[in-house]
Amino acid sequence: MIALSGIAKRFPNGVQALNDLSFMVARGEFVSLLGPSGCGKSTALRLAAGLLTPDAGAVTYADGKPQIGFVFQDHTLMPWADALTNARLPLDLKRMPRDQADARASAALARVGLAGFEHAYPRELSGGMKMRVSIARALAAQPQLLLLDEPFAALDEITRNALGDDLLKLWREDGLTVLFVTHSVSESSYLSQRVLVMTPRPGHIAADIALASGRDSRLSPATIEAQRVISGALNSAIAA
């Protein structure tokens, strides 16, 4: 679906965020990009979305640029608009007729458990609900590739787990391709099929770990074992 090869990125302030970063994500895969804070995970994700251009290397898409859904760490909602208008933003920008766009945005809100909250303003919603609106907005665009930048980092553990389970469900139902940036070993071990471990800045891939099946719950032996393997790879990436 998407391949990054030999990516280098330096910011105007002189910080070399990425150097020789290469990885690919196949259609329908759920891949986590894991690394310590400041290793360039978010930069890699923005490059994947085409929001940044690399200094060297290339981002290529298998069948032309797919429809991309992007979820930020903050909910990034428009505070002046209700949940429905927020979820409808990608469709409004594409000038989809209002009734059609409303129907699709409502359906997206219902899928993330927010039926009945269409006309609530962001300030009236909890942190978890705001993040759900943000995910609904990404879904409304009917993406093939869903990019998430530590979307649950600011949430409490109960909400985080519930949203993680919902994300898995959406991924299975829609056949999405997901690239999920996180700094949580437990999150990546449970949610993804494959974990890409990044080194500290300038970031590149230190380990590419395919996870075994059988991780049906957060506490199943296969998940715990996956955590052990990922933690080991992360520690050696940081130490190297």
Partner 1 sequence: MKRILDIALPLAVAAFLLGAWEGAVAHWQVPAYVLPAPSAIARAFADNFGSLMEALASTLTVTLEAFVAACVLGVATAIAFSHSRLLERTLYPYAVILQVTPVVAIAPLILIWVGFERINLALVIIATIVAFFPILAGATLGLKSADFNLIDLTRLYGASRLQTLWRIRLPNALPYLLSGMKTAGGLALIGAVVAEFVAGSGTATGLAWRIVESGNRLEIATLFAALALLALTGVVIFAALSLLEWCLLRRWHESALQAS
Interface residues with partner 1 (CB under 8 A) are 46, 49-51, 68, 70, 72, 74, 76, 78-81, 89-90, 92-94, 121-123, 141
Which residue's CB is nearer to partner 1, number 81 or number 162? Answer: 81
Which residue's CB is nearer to partner 1, number 37 or number 123? Answer: 123
Q: Which two tokens stand for residue 148?
A: 């998430």
Q: Work out how close the CB of 166 gets to partner 1 at its nearest, in angstroms, rounded to a whole number.
A: 21
Q: Are 21 and 40 in contact (CB under 8 A)?
A: yes
Q: Which two tokens stand for residue 11?
A: 């910011």
Q: Work out how close the CB of 236 gets to partner 1 at its nearest, in angstroms, rounded to a whole number.
A: 33
Cα torsion angle, 74, 131, 204, 183, sign: positive
Which residue's CB is nearer to partner 1, number 120 or number 238? Answer: 120
**Burial environment of residue 126 by CB neighbours within 10 A (0 to 12, 13 to 18, 19 or more):** exposed
Which residue's CB is nearer to partner 1, number 48 or number 226? Answer: 48
Q: Which helix (H) or strand (E) holds 110?
A: helix 98-111
Which residue's CB is nearer to partner 1, number 123 or number 158? Answer: 123
Q: Which helix (H) or strand (E) holds 92?
A: helix 83-93
Q: Work out how close the CB of 39 gets to partner 1 at its nearest, in angstroms, rounded to a whole number.
A: 20
Rounded distance, CA 96 to CA 141, Å?
11
Q: Work out how close the CB of 237 gets to partner 1 at its nearest, in angstroms, rounded to a whole number.
A: 27
Q: Work out how close the CB of 33 gets to partner 1 at its nearest, in angstroms, rounded to a whole number.
A: 18
